[in-house]
Amino acid sequence: MYNTVFFVLLVILVADYVLERYLSFINSQRRSTELPPELKDVYDAEQYRKQQEYKKANERFSLISSSFSFLVIMAMLFFGGFSIVDGWARYITSQPVLSVLVFFGILAFGSDLLGTPFSLYDTFVIEERFGFNKTTLKTFFLDKLKGWLLGALIGGGLLAVIVWFYHITGPLFWLYAWILATVFAVFMSMFYSSLIVPLFNRQTPLEQGELREAISSFSASAGFRLNNIYVIDGSKRSTKANAYFSGLGPKKRIVLYDTLIKDLTTHGIVAVLAHEIGHYKKKHTLTGLITGIIQTGITLFILSLFVDNPQLSAALGSPQPEFHLGLIAFGILYSPISLLAGLLLNYVSRRNEYAADRYVKEHYKADELVIALKKLSTNNLSNLTPHPAYVFFHYSHPTLLQRIRALGRDEGRGTRDEGQGTRDEGLVFK
Ligand SMILES: [Zn+2]
């Protein structure tokens, strides 16, 4: 099993771990005591101290949890763990499609179990200590249960059909799998909010009152129907606030967290709503969906060229080529390419965020958006000074400073993208 592919897998996994730790390290070293003038009013001294501690706690946590995952995958690789699980799956059933389902079921369930103590610690120790956590143990475990059921139903269903395609169409299976994935992606982008979200959260129409009036008059002027705006009970799990736009055509909707409504003024909420309407006007969901479909097609095609290669299965400890072992080895071999694709997608996402912010500036009020963004940063204890390299790799949103500077720039000079963004501490709507 220690063939060339085995060593390539090893190099990729080690390089990925080292890169990730290096980025986290330089990011953690970047603590400036002197914030840029635009950000001086985000934290007072006490809040800033708390933010720095929150950042440190998260960094320590991510070091431990990512090192643990790294050790587990190394052990799986060195001791032929995947081939051992394959043996169990075959022992349970000899039906080829079912045994693949059992194989991935054991892996998914096992990795979820190993991850559970970490997510318990994250939610009930770290988030709790800094006053963010609102989740009860009951909600936590119910979420897990629902996640497993959904994963088994949807993930298992899709996987079964793809393995079946592989058995009946051979090398052309990628094309059928692509059609299936496309239909599924379009279906999900239309019905995710009405089918999946209600399993976890309650979504209600906006209540009557001053806020509804303000939102109503803005959305009417922007040509967005009020009955596409929902409030979700994010406060069931966390005090952190957010908002997002999802769906296509008649299924489009803007979702505001109840925590966002609690934290912001009416003007601030309208500014956030205007940002989301900006995403809708500029068709960001549609272009994201199309990009995802193209990317899936390319990945599946490349997969079809490699999956039968006996070297892949051999590297995981199996004497004969197996589709599901090939799939796992391919997933690791492909990860440098998906890393590059991820960089590109983050870059596009950051440009979309600037565009949505610009929509607020042109159709509502830039200064209200700035106040809202700052308030959310304060409440979420966001890191205001991440390392540019870390931002380049991981942020899907520009940093607060970049967004404020882009909003402040003169019209006509255009917005020069500074190449950075944020996904991290929950800030700043999608
Ligand atoms: Zn956005």
Note the pLDDT tens digit of each residue in 316-351.
999 989 999 999 999 999 999 999 999 999 999 999
Confidence grade of residue 412 (pLDDT, cut at 50, 70, 90): very low
The pLDDT score that the predictor gives to residue 411 is: 53
Of 420, 426, 429, whose CA–CA distance to 372 is shortest? 429
**Range 230-253 average pLDDT:** 93
Q: How far is the CA of 298 from the centre of ligand 1 (A)?
A: 27
Q: What is residue 239's three-state secondary structure?
A: coil
Q: How far is the CA of 284 from the centre of ligand 1 (A)?
A: 9
Res 17 pLDDT > 50: yes
Q: How far apart are CA 159 and CA 151, in angstroms?
A: 11
The pLDDT score that the predictor gives to residue 137 is: 97
CA dihedral 308, 314, 318, 320 (to 10 degrees): 40
Residues in the chain, overall count:
430
The pLDDT score that the predictor gives to residue 413 is: 42
Of 59, 85, 60, whose CA–CA distance to 72 is shortest? 85
Tell me how far the alpha carbon of residue 387 is from its chain's centroid.
20
**Residues surrounding ion ligand 1 at CB below 5 Å:** 353, 356
Q: How far is the CA of 279 from the centre of ligand 1 (A)?
A: 7
Residues 148, 153, 158, 164, CA torsion sign = positive
More confident residue, 195 or 416: 195
Question: What Rg value do the Cα atoms of the chain yield, rounded?
Answer: 23
Res 423 pLDDT > 70: no
First to last CA, the chain: 44
**Range 45-62 average pLDDT:** 95
pTM: 0.90
For 158, 163, 177, 178, 379, the CA distances from 169, given in Å and listed in that order, are 16, 10, 11, 13, 54
For 206, 208, 226, 241, 267, the CA distances from 218, given in Å and listed in that order, are 14, 15, 10, 21, 11
Res 121 pLDDT > 80: yes
Q: How far is the CA of 351 from the centre of ligand 1 (A)?
A: 10
The pLDDT score that the predictor gives to residue 419 is: 35
**Are residues 393 and 292 in contact, defined by beta-carbon separation less than 8 angstroms?**
no
CA atoms within 13 A on the CB side of 309: 18
Helices (H), 230-334: 258-263, 266-281, 284-306, 310-315, 323-333
Least confident of 19-23, 241-245, 419-423: 419-423
Q: How far is the CA of 420 from the centre of ligand 1 (A)?
A: 14
**Are residues 279 and 245 in contact, defined by beta-carbon separation less than 8 angstroms?**
yes
**Range 100-125 average pLDDT:** 97
Q: How far is the CA of 356 from the centre of ligand 1 (A)?
A: 6
Res 4 pLDDT > 90: yes
